[in-house]
Amino acid sequence: MNNSIELTGISKSYGGLTALGKLDLTIKRNEILTLLGPSGCGKTTLMRIIAGFEEPSSGRVVIDGKDATRLAPEHRPVNMVFQKYALFPHLDVFDNVAFGLRLKKTPKDEIKREVMRVLELVQLESFKNRWISELSGGQAQRVALARALVNRPAVLLLDEPLAALDLKIRHHMLNEIKRIHEETSTTFVYVTHDQDEAMILSDRVVLLNKGGIEQIGGPEEMYWSPRTLFAAKFFGDTNIVNGTYARGSDSYVQLPFGRFSCAAKNEVGAGPVNVSIRPETLTLTPTQGNAAEGEFLGKVKDTSFIGNRVIYRVAVAGETLDLKCQQLPTPGAHALTPGTPVSMRCQPDSFVVLPA
The residues spanned by each domain of the chain are 3-229, 283-348
Please check whether residue 177 is in contact with residue 170, taking contact to mean a CB–CB distance below 8 angstroms: no
SS3 call for 60 = strand
The predicted pLDDT at position 26 comes to 95
DSSP state of 288: S
According to DSSP, the β-strands at 3-14 and 58-63 are antiparallel
Class of domain 3-229: alpha beta
The predicted pLDDT at position 320 comes to 64
How far is C-alpha 334 from the chain's CA centre? 34
270 CB neighbour count, 10 Å cutoff: 12
221 CB neighbour count, 10 Å cutoff: 15
Q: Which CATH number fits domain 283-348: 2.40.50.140, 3.40.50.10420, 1.20.120.530, 3.30.1490.150?
A: 2.40.50.140
Summarize pLDDT for 218-247 with one digit per residue, the tens: 999 999 999 999 999 998 889 999 999 887
The predicted pLDDT at position 334 comes to 66
Please check whether residue 326 is in contact with residue 346, taking contact to mean a CB–CB distance below 8 angstroms: no
Low-confidence ranges of the chain (pLDDT < 70): 1-2, 85, 319-320, 332-334
The predicted pLDDT at position 121 comes to 87
Distance from C-alpha of 112 to C-alpha of 151, rounded to nearest angstrom: 13
